[in-house]
A = this chain, B = another copy of it.
Amino acid sequence: MIIQTITIYLLKRLSKYIKNLNTKKKITIKDIANVLNISPAAVSKALHDDSRISKKTKEAVKKVAKDLNYQPNHLASALRKGKSNLVGVIVPRTNSNFFSSVIENIEEVLNKEGYHIIITQSNESYKKECANIDTLLFTQVDGIIASMANETVDLSHYEKIKSKGIPLILFDRGENDLNVDYIGINDYDSSHMIVEHLISKGCKRIAHIGGFKRTRIFNNRIRGYLDAIKKHHLSFENDLLIESDLTLEDGRIQMQKLLNLNKQPDAVYVAGDYAALGALQILQENNIKVPDDMRLVGFGNEPFTSLVSPSITSINQHSADIGKLAAETFLSLVKSENLKQSLTKKILDAELIIRDSSK
C-alpha cells in the first residue's frame, strides 16, 4: 500500500515534470526514445557517442533525432552543468569609443577560450544597472565584467553577484569598497599631468569641469587637480571647480558658467571628451580663440578629438589593454580553485596626447 502510494506520487511528479518541459512543444530525448522503444538514457548515451551503445542503435537514434528536428536544450544542460560559457558585460553606454574598444578587446580574448559575451548598457541609470545584473544572472553567465553607471552609489546589486560566487571584474568605474578585481588607469596622476602641462604653457587660472565626486574615478581626477593646483601655488576659487554629467550638452552649459565669472580662467580641463567638445563649441561661438585665449584639455582620447579644429589635447585611457586585462582576469578566476586567492588591481599609467587646443 505504502509502495503504491509512493509510486503514484512519484509518477505524478515525473509526469508533471515532463509536461512542464514540453510546454514549448520541443522535441526531447524522450520523444526519440518513444519512437525507438528504448530508454531515454540510451538515447542520451547514443547522442553522446557512448561506447556502451552499439553502432546500429547510434545510427537509428541519430536518424530519428534528425527526422524529428531534435535540438539539444543547451540551457537545460547549462543548468545541470552550472556552466554557460557566457560572460556578461555591463557598460554605461556603447556609444563611446572607450567602452566599445574595451568590449572589442574583452571579446577577442574570451572568444579564443570558447566564451561568448553578451552586452547590456545602463545608460548611466542605477535602476537599469540593477535590471542588467538580473538579466545577466538570469542568463546564467559564468562571469560579469562591468563599469558602473554615474548614478550608482548603493552597491547591493553587485554584492548579489559576489554572493552567488560568480566572478565579477570591474573596470574604469569601480569601487574599491567592493573588494573585487579591478582594472583602470591612474586618474589622480592623469590630473597632475594635465595641470602641469597647462602650467608649462603659462596658464595661471585653470578651471576643472569634472565628473560627479561620488564616482571614484572622477573623485580621483578632482583630487589630482586640486593637489596639483596647491602644489604649484596657483590661484583657486571654488567657482573654478564644477561637477558635470560630462555630456556634450552639459559641457556647453558649464563652459558658459565659467565664461560668466568675473575673473575668467585661462585654461579648462574637462574630465570627458564629449563635454570638452561642448566647451569648445561655446568658446568658438563666443569668439574666444583656442589655444591663444583659452587652453582646453579633454579626457578619453575619443577619435573626434584628433579630427576637430582645433584638435583637442586628451588622455589616452588604454582601452585595448583594459579590455584584454579584464578578460584575462576573468579567465584566471575561473581557472583558479579559490576565487579569493587572486585579487587583481591593475592601475595603468595614462598617456597625455598633446594637440592644438593646448599648444
Contacts and interface: CB of A to CB of B under 8 A. Distances in A.
Contacts of A111: 128
Interface in A269-306: 277, 303-304
B117 A120 contact: yes
Interface centre among A4, A10, A17 (most CB of B within 10 A): A10
Interface in A55-73: 69, 71, 73
B277 A307 contact: yes
Contacts of A21: 79-80
Interface string A84-116: 101000000111010011011001000100001
A120 B131 contact: no
A120 B94 CA distance: 11
A135 B116 contact: yes
A118 B121 contact: no
Nearest to A39: B9
A119 B139 contact: no
Query: In terms of DSSP, what is the predominant structure of the interface of chain A?
Result: helix
A51 B84 CA distance: 37
Contacts of A140: 75
A308 interface: yes
Interface string A182-222: 00000000000000000000000000000000000000000
A163 interface: yes
Interface string A120-134: 110100001001101
Interface centre among A6, A78, A135 (most CB of B within 10 A): A135
Contacts of A24: 82
Given A10-B14, A118-B119, A119-B120, A138 B84 contact: yes
A124 to B, nearest CB: 12
Contacts of A34: none
A76 interface: yes
A74 interface: yes
Contact of A94 (B4, B7, B119, B139): B119
Contacts of A17: 17
Nearest to A16: B41
A17 B30 CA distance: 14
Contacts of A121: 103, 107, 119
Given A121-B119, A307-B304, A100 B104 contact: no
Contact of A10 (B10, B82, B132): B10
A352 to B, nearest CB: 22
A312 B298 CA distance: 24
Contacts of A117: 120
A82 B74 CA distance: 14
Interface of A: 3-4, 6-7, 10-11, 13-14, 17, 20-21, 23-24, 69, 71, 73-76, 78-82, 84, 86, 93-95, 97, 100-101, 103-104, 107, 111, 116-121, 123, 128, 131-132, 134-135, 137-140, 163-164, 277, 303-304, 307-309
14 contacts: A14-B14, A17-B17, A21-B79, A23-B81, A24-B82, A76-B79, A86-B139, A94-B95, A95-B95, A95-B100, A95-B104, A116-B134, A277-B307, A303-B304
Q: Nearest 5 pairs between A and B by C-beta?
A: A95-B100, A94-B94, A24-B82, A309-B309, A119-B119
